[in-house]
Structure 1
Amino acid sequence: MSKIVLITGGSSGIGKSIGEFLNEKGFIVYGTSRNPDNYKESKFPILALDVKDVESINNTVHAIIEKEARLDILINNAGAGITGPIEEIPDVEIKNNFETNFFGPINVIKSVLPQMRKQQSGLIINVTSIAGYMGLPYRGIYSASKGALELLTEAFRMELKGFNIKMTNVAPGDFATNIAAGRYHAPLLDNSAYKKPYGDTLSLMDTHVDNGSDPNIMAEAIYKIINTKNPKGHYKVGEFMQKFSIVLKRILPDKMYEMLLMNHYKL
């Protein structure tokens, strides 16, 4: 029996690559977008869903269950980037980012759990970020939202063990996607105390994305996790140095690690 997969944010970037890969492997895949009419050429169905709208989430999840009578895998991939000096990012944009990157995945999880509990099976994969393991300069809000989802998953895993529902995090590094185009950028203000360091860091971040890895690497990693009997709580997917940066944070003194980051970003 083909497994039923729901991928939030499945219309482009990493989500699209995962969906196409799983579709080719025989899974029945449903992706989502706030504007599904823009993706009529997709190789798998794209349904309307806004992770900031609980009614939208529930309607789409219920429609899939009504059609397929089950839901085996949720991939919480929808997310939004945000950059800027924390002091200068408007509160409304900070809250909006957490609504998308943290509260959104929680509400999608809540929506699928009754069906997975009924089935006594299910797998939930939360796509986080290597940035969620450290507070990065001018990406502090993004780091915080993704880091919060990492910790939430640790708690959820223990709460769901009795129902045979598994959950894991997959933290990607920099991949060649269009995330930078959809990212909220705090404006570079002429009178800002952060104008030069923020501007330089912004250029460096965009270069990292432009030179990022092939998103199909993430798709292959997700497929491998799906076929793992008991997935770990955390996976990292990216270039060696990006993954190794997490190891360095564990073993280096705080001040030394902070100095490495500042040198990297030329601060």
Structure 2
Amino acid sequence: MGKVILVTGASSGIGLACANALQAKGHTVYGSSRDISRLKSVSFKPIQLDVTDDASVKAAVDQIIKAEGKIDVLVNNAGNGVTGPAYAMPVESAKQQFEVNFFGVIRVSSAVLPKMIEAKNGLVINISSLAGLFGLPYQALYSASKYAIEGYSQSLRMELRNTGVKVTLINPGDFKSDFTQNRAKVAFPIKNEQLEKEYNTAVASMEKDESVGANPDVIGKKLCEIVEKSSPAHRYLVGAFGQTIAVTLKRVLPGGIFEKLMNDHYGIK
């Protein structure tokens, strides 16, 4: 039996792939974007929703509940990236990063969950990142926002233990999308040739990884599998083995060695 599913940030990349895959499986899918004009000619139901705006979130959730009577699955996918040096990051940039990636998750979840709890049934899938499990150089804000999702999701899962509502995480590696071109880059703020060179090298490396990443349809397929499970796992790592293995390496290697491996990958010698 098809489920009613809300996918945030469905205008491109992972969100679009997930919404299309779920719709193809026979679910009733509402895919959101803050700019609904970006959702033309999609297979699912487009809906305007800005995760940074309380009124917009409430209006979208109310619209779905009025039309469908429920939301069975919430996929918190909407997100963006801010790149820059952690040692000189403007607080305003940090606020902008968290407003979408973390507070957006809280806004939408808090709007959807009361109805799920009332129905004693539901599934919340939070799209985190491998960067939510280990820090990345010059992606401190992005990593921090995804780390926050990790803690929030675990606490939420514990609180909802006896309600019938499940919470799980997907931690993707690098996938091809317009995330790269939409990433906000903070201008290098200090005079230090070595650090500036390392910054530019690290950013070039991460963009190269993203450019050769897999198609986001891989995540859409995994999401369809998760939605059908009666007891989904707490976490799903999705990505190339060379990236997902870093989660294990962080656990078993001394901290200094792990960080050196990560720095080497990003060209910081």
TM-score (norm 2): 0.96
Structure 1 residue runs of 4+, over 4 Å off?
Answer: none
The match for 2:162 is 162
Q: Deviations over 1:51-82 (max 9, x none)?
A: 11111111100100000001100000000111
How far 1:191 sits from its partner (Å)?
3.3
How far 1:153 sits from its partner (Å)?
0.7
Helix, strand or coil at the partner of 1:161: coil
How far 1:223 sits from its partner (Å)?
0.9
Helix, strand or coil at the partner of 2:236: strand
Helix, strand or coil at the partner of 1:163: coil
Q: Deviations over 1:119-144 (max 9, x none)?
A: 11000000000011111110111111
Paired with 2:152 and 2:79, the residues of 1 have a C-alpha distance of 16
How well do the aligned residues superpose, as a CA RMSD in angstroms? 1.2
Paired with 1:24 and 1:52, the residues of 2 have a C-alpha distance of 29
The match for 2:224 is 223
Paired with 1:46 and 1:180, the residues of 2 have a C-alpha distance of 24
Instruction: Decide whether the 8 Å contact of 1:188 with 1:199 is kept in 2.
Output: no
Between 173-182 and 192-201, the greater mean CA deviation after superposition = 192-201
Instruction: Decide whether the 8 Å contact of 2:205 with 2:267 is kept in 1.
Output: no
Paired with 1:163 and 1:137, the residues of 2 have a C-alpha distance of 39
Match runs of 1:224-243 below 5 Å: 224-243=225-244
Aligned length: 267
- Which residue identity does 1:246 align to in structure 2? V
The match for 1:114 is 114
Match runs of 1:81-120 below 5 Å: 81-120=81-120
Match runs of 1:47-66 below 5 Å: 47-66=47-66
The match for 1:209 is 210
- Which residue identity does 2:89 align to in structure 1? I
The match for 1:147 is 147
Helix, strand or coil at the partner of 2:161: helix
Helix, strand or coil at the partner of 1:123: strand
Paired with 1:108 and 1:119, the residues of 2 have a C-alpha distance of 17
Match runs of 1:225-264 below 5 Å: 225-264=226-265
Paired with 2:90 and 2:41, the residues of 1 have a C-alpha distance of 37
Please state if 1:35 is matched with 2:35. Answer: yes
How far 1:189 sits from its partner (Å)?
5.6
How far 1:190 sits from its partner (Å)?
8.1
The match for 1:22 is 22
The match for 1:135 is 135
Instruction: Decide whether the 8 Å contact of 1:20 with 1:44 is kept in 2.
Output: yes
Paired with 1:22 and 1:171, the residues of 2 have a C-alpha distance of 18
For structure 2, list consecutive stretches of 5 or more residues without a partner in the other structure: none
- Which residue identity does 2:23 align to in structure 1? N
Helix, strand or coil at the partner of 1:11: coil
Instruction: Decide whether the 8 Å contact of 2:167 with 2:234 is kept in 1.
Output: yes
Paired with 1:38 and 1:215, the residues of 2 have a C-alpha distance of 18
Paired with 1:253 and 1:190, the residues of 2 have a C-alpha distance of 31
Paired with 1:38 and 1:81, the residues of 2 have a C-alpha distance of 19
Paired with 1:242 and 1:142, the residues of 2 have a C-alpha distance of 17
The match for 1:179 is 179
Helix, strand or coil at the partner of 1:2: coil
Instruction: Decide whether the 8 Å contact of 2:6 with 2:31 is kept in 1.
Output: yes
Paired with 2:200 and 2:189, the residues of 1 have a C-alpha distance of 10
- Which residue identity does 2:74 align to in structure 1? L
Helix, strand or coil at the partner of 2:160: helix
